[in-house]
Amino acid sequence: MLTYDYVCPANDRTVQVQHGIKDRLKTWGELCERAGLDPAETPLDTPVERLMSGGLLATVSGATRGEMPPLPMAGGGCCGQPQSCHRHAH
């Protein structure tokens, strides 16, 4: 199971849930059911969006947790945009 972040634009809540890679939650009701949350005032059929940051799983074959090397980022640096990153500001 992978961990994914979903956002509900109607109530501005972000919820983290686990599910299989082929699964995709589409409504606030599905999200609340999976996460064990009370839907409160938000209608169950309200659409939710899966965030791009969720679902990341990376392993290195043969390495133990303490031996795993850092994973490279596309474009280099911590964010891939060193010229506009506050961490790289001069």
Give the tens place of pLDDT for each residue, 7-64.
999 999 999 999 998 999 999 999 999 999 999 999 999 999 999 864 555 444 554 4
Q: Residue 28 in contact with residue 8, Cβ under 8 Å?
A: yes
Q: Residue 57 in contact with residue 2, Cβ under 8 Å?
A: yes
Residue 53's pLDDT is what?
A: 64
Residue 52's pLDDT is what?
A: 82
